[in-house]
Amino acid sequence: MAKILIVDDAEFLRMRISKMLTAEGYEIVEADNGAKAVELYNQVHPDVVMMDITMPEMDGLTALKHIKALDPKAKVIMLTALGQESVVLEAIKSGARDFVVKPFERERVLGAISKLLA
């Protein structure tokens, strides 16, 4: 069972993704900011991380760098929104493997995850 870490400060969003992925049989772990995500990554070693960019405490980009430092093979998908083009590029350069744009379609999220798990 693949484990997915969902990182977003928005609870509603986390709930939506979590529901969607649980229905597909994934095991879900959640964090509501970047710092917690890094800590959890170290503890639960998720197969894929889906992480928001804009978050309090520690933003997604910083968390991504920390996670990549912990585990260079970490598979991180950034959750992003319109208007974040340059941040997304930086995320990819920092080792993010993919990004999905909010509001996202189910297929897009599932596709991105299954690609990384393939």
Partner 1 sequence: MELRFDIEKEELPIFMAESDEQFQLLDDGMVQLEREGENPDLLQSLFRAAHTLKGAAGMIGHKRMVALTHALETAMDGLRKNSYPVSTSLIDLCLEATDALRNLRGEILTLQPAPVDVDGLVARFNAFVAQATGAAAAPAAETKQTVQAVVPTAASAEAASQTVFKVEAEISPTSIASAARAFQLVLALQDVGVIQTQSPTQAEIDSAKPVQKFSATFQSSQTYEEIYKLLDMVSEVNKLTLQQVSGPDTLEKPTAPLPALDKPAEVVETARVPQAAAPAVPAGASAAAAPKVALEKTVRTSVERLDNLMNLVGELITDRNRLYQLRNSLDARFRNDDHVETLSETVNHIGRITDQLQKEVMSIRMLPVGNVFSKFPRMVRDLANKFGKKVDLVIEGEDTEMDRSVIEEINDPLIHTLRNAVDHGIERPEVRLAAGKPERARVLLAARYEQGRIIITVEDDGKGIDGEKIKASAVQKGFLSEAEAAVMSEDEAVNLIFASGFSTASTLSDISGRGVGLDIVRNNIQRLNGSIMVETWKGQGTRFQLSLPLTLAIVPTLLVRVREMTMAIPLVTVLETLRIAKSDIQTVNARPVIILRKKVLPLVSLASTFELEKEDYSARQHYVVVVGSGKLQMGLMVDRLLGQEEVVVKSLGSLIGEVHGIASAAILGDGQVILIVDVQDLFRMSGLQHAMTG
Binders of partner 1 among 44-73, rule CB under 8 A?
44-47, 54-56, 70-73
Is 100 one of the binding residues for partner 1 (CB under 8 A)?
yes
Q: Name the minimum Å distance from CB 63 to partner 1.
A: 15
For residue 110, state whether it binds partner 1 (rule: CB under 8 A): yes
Per rule CB under 8 A, is residue 76 in the interface with partner 1?
no
- d(Cα 6, Cα 77) in Å, to the nearest integer? 10
User: Cβ of residue 58: shortest distance to partner 1, in angstroms?
Assistant: 12
75: three-class secondary structure by DSSP: coil
The Cα–Cα gap between 34 and 38 comes to 6
Q: Which helix (H) or strand (E) holds 8?
A: none
The residue ranges that bind partner 1 (CB under 8 A) are 1-3, 9-13, 15-16, 24-26, 29-31, 39-40, 43-47, 54-56, 70-75, 80-86, 88-89, 91-93, 97-103, 107-108, 110-118
